């Protein structure tokens, strides 16, 4: 890879990170109605729902639309965590790796990916946005 190609690729990564949408973290004890209100108050479209059990962590990405479609908004989110999209993590430094390129092939463009920086969530991006970036960087 030439120096110019590396510089262009890194500039592209910075552009991609700038497109990351903010998200909040919801408590798993909240009800669907409480979570929807909190997301609207925070003016975000996405939230992380994390539940810790001993050595196991389960997490999902939730949208306000997901919460609005719940049949019983008074139920705690913990009881419904498995009905939401599982969280997929990607460190922003890995955007240009072959492993990410291969793993994105089997994911639909609408899938939401949590972008991290050293294990800390920065926000979310659609898989389609990351796939388009990877394809453009390969040219």
Between CA 138 and CA 121 the distance in angstroms is: 26
| Better pLDDT: 11 or 126 | 126
Summarised one tens digit per residue, pLDDT across range 58-113 is: 899 999 999 988 888 899 999 988 888 888 888 888 877 777 777 788 888 899 99
d(CA 128, CA 139): 17
The answer to whether residues 77 and 30 touch, using CB atoms and an 8 Å cutoff, is: yes
pTM metric for this prediction: 0.80
d(CA 129, CA 41): 26
Number of structural domains (the chain) is 1
CATH of the domain at 87: 3.10.580.10
How large is the C-alpha radius of gyration of the chain? 17
Tell me which of 134 and 80 has the higher pLDDT: 80
For the segment 1-20, the average pLDDT, to the nearest whole number, is 65
């Amino acid at each position: 890879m030439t120096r110019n190609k590396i510089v262009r690729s890194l500039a592209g990564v910075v552009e991609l990170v700038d497109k990351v949408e903010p998200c909040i973290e919801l408590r798993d004890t909240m009800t669907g109605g409480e979570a929807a209100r909190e997301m609207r108050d925070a003016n975000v479209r996405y939230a992380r729902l994390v539940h810790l059990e001993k050595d196991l962590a389960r997490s999902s990405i939730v949208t306000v639309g997901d919460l609005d479609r719940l049949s019983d908004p008074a139920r705690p989110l913990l009881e419904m965590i498995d009905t939401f999209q599982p969280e997929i993590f990607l460190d922003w430094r890995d955007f240009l790796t072959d492993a990410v390129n291969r793993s994105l092939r089997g994911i639909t463009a609408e899938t939401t990916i949590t972008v991290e920086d050293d294990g800390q969530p920065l926000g979310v991006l659609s898989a389609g946005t990351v796939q388009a970036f990877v394809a453009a960087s390969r040219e």
